[in-house]
Structure 1
């Protein structure tokens, strides 16, 4: 796959559809296969293959969950059938304050003004859940992108050193009218806890896959260089193996919470998500450092398997609010500490 900010990984997404992986969090009656596929393990494996694909895939699962949680019966029936046949979904919330997306009701239409940034997948996505200001509130909309061929991908804000193939461009929705029937959920539903913060468990799972891919690149490189017997390399590899394995315990717990969320309070889920994203951030950053020290300058050559994964993970780890997440874990711990 060409590494290009404008190159959407269409072949990879088609493969995910053919393997029924775009359907794994749909209600059972909409899935092609009955097998229950674990979401977080799948996110990790896809991240291990390609972090940009993992980012787009995570956004797709996020959109499906939002429709499950907030969609009307008719919306669920229609959009889940669309997902079943391979249509791609995403969630675009990020914007610049100077051009925040707004929606004004006019008869049965919503008039949009403003733009979204970091629109992962760009116009290759079929349906994007976007948030728009209505007075001082936020309203989710399910936007059918293919029905608006005049929309333009703006690449001026997306020239990153990594994660290029997530094609996270800017899209301006100014002047567009859409049906008010495409409103998803109540006002401010997007920010409802626990899953506004709990969604961090998904991107953390993808990040762990990238960290594991770096470990594998290091193993391959050191084997090729006949350095696997070097005691210092073995020490670094032992540390990496422990870090990756510890990350997989976080995935297992995340899956348990997702499968049995009725057994956990909203505060417990939010706290776990903040813990998990903080832990996997630390795991990933340490593996980046260990990989760099193990391989050295050779790993930063453009033809080296480590080089793109290293850059992609560096960029993907820059998720918003890491300090706040860790601070919230500390506050929760003080509040719930019992002797």
Structure 2
């Protein structure tokens, strides 16, 4: 992995850096989760997140789509293609997969389609005629695909433009067998990787706070910086431990590790934002565009967490507490 190339692109393109730039530079060629390089994969996600949270939302979805297709034995995607992973299942927006020989025809509306206007392909979840959950690969320039401008009014994560997309009899290729998408080990391995994106965003906010606070030397601000240090450093430790566990158990379910890590990083990110805001006041929120954007983006991105529902999942009787030192 060439992190120098990422730094060069960031320096060259700045706020104009796009998913296409990252793909064309080969920066999406990441180790697969559980391959022994999970931490290296997450470091790349965190580095992109520290630059731009909206961009990493698209980058993570693209690299997740590549990993899913490899894990489920799909044909390698075309060079230069840009993928989304659109598998949210709100009850009002579920796709129907109609069998068409060895393929599907997709019908319905898919919600939360991040980056739809910037992508060439997507993996989409849906339901076949027997009521089974399925996954399909679809080209977004196929007849019958309509990318709407509906479904996204947020200020935070604005550049993801996570709109609704309509599918009217669109041809698509099955990826794996029904049920494979959530049953595979990579489902929770990839879910844990989202936390690396959140952590990267928190790290960028922490870096801005550190630069400003150390220049002032004000005791209360320094206390806030100390709290930020604890939050960022301890959550990084959790990410490293989770990546090591995944690499040591690549065929096992990482559900418990993923939930713990996501929730730990979520709490750390929220603590970082609170302390940074209190330490720095309104000035950077009003005059530093990058800081202000990160402070608006990260709360929206964090809501990909299921909050108390995930916390309750960790209290289930079959969860391995493993409270050892």
Q: Give the equivalent residue in structure 1 for 2:247.
A: 259
Structure-2 change in CA distance of 1:217 and 1:336 (3 Å): closer
1:110-131 CA distance string (max 9 Å, x none): 2321111111110321220101
Structure 2 residue matching 1:327: 3-state secondary structure? helix
Q: TM-score, normalising length from structure 2?
A: 0.85
Q: Write 1 or 2 for the structure with the bigger share of helix.
A: 1
Structure-2 change in CA distance of 1:136 and 1:319 (3 Å): same
CA distance in 1, matches of 2:18, 2:138: 23
Pick the aligned partner of 1:160 from 154, 165, 176: 154
Matches within 5 A, 1:104-143: 104-134=98-128, 135-143=130-138
CA distance in 2, matches of 1:92, 1:337: 33
More off after superposition, 37-46 vs 249-258: 249-258
RMSD (Å), alpha carbons: 2.6
Pick the aligned partner of 1:195 from 186, 189, 193: 186
Structure-2 change in CA distance of 1:287 and 1:257 (3 Å): same
Structure-2 change in CA distance of 1:257 and 1:161 (3 Å): same
Shift of 1:241: 1.4
Shift of 1:251: 2.4
Asked if 1:231 corresponds to 2:225, the answer is no
Matches within 5 A, 1:1-339: 11-25=17-31, 38-72=40-74, 75=75, 78-79=76-77, 82=78, 85-134=79-128, 135-148=130-143, 151-176=145-170, 178=171, 182-192=173-183, 194-222=185-213, 226-227=215-216, 229-262=217-250, 265-266=252-253, 269-301=254-286, 303-331=288-316, 336=321
Structure 1 residue matching 2:165: 3-state secondary structure? strand
The answer as to whether partners of 1:299 and 1:305 remain within 8 angstroms in 2 is no
CA distance in 1, matches of 2:38, 2:265: 25
CA distance in 2, matches of 1:114, 1:302: 43
CA distance in 2, matches of 1:23, 1:295: 38
The answer as to whether partners of 2:38 and 2:244 remain within 8 angstroms in 1 is no
The answer as to whether partners of 2:113 and 2:163 remain within 8 angstroms in 1 is yes
Structure 1 residue matching 2:211: 3-state secondary structure? helix
The number of residue pairs the alignment matches comes to 306
Could you list the runs of 5+ residues in structure 1 that have no partner in the other structure?
1-8, 28-34
Shift of 1:259: 3.0
The answer as to whether partners of 1:210 and 1:309 remain within 8 angstroms in 2 is yes
The answer as to whether partners of 1:43 and 1:205 remain within 8 angstroms in 2 is yes
Structure 2 residue matching 1:234: 3-state secondary structure? helix
The answer as to whether partners of 1:25 and 1:64 remain within 8 angstroms in 2 is no
The answer as to whether partners of 1:193 and 1:270 remain within 8 angstroms in 2 is no
CA distance in 1, matches of 2:39, 2:24: 14
1:104-154 CA distance string (max 9 Å, x none): 124455232111111111032122010121031111101111334x63322
Could you list the runs of 5+ residues in structure 2 that have no partner in the other structure?
1-14
The answer as to whether partners of 2:71 and 2:186 remain within 8 angstroms in 1 is no
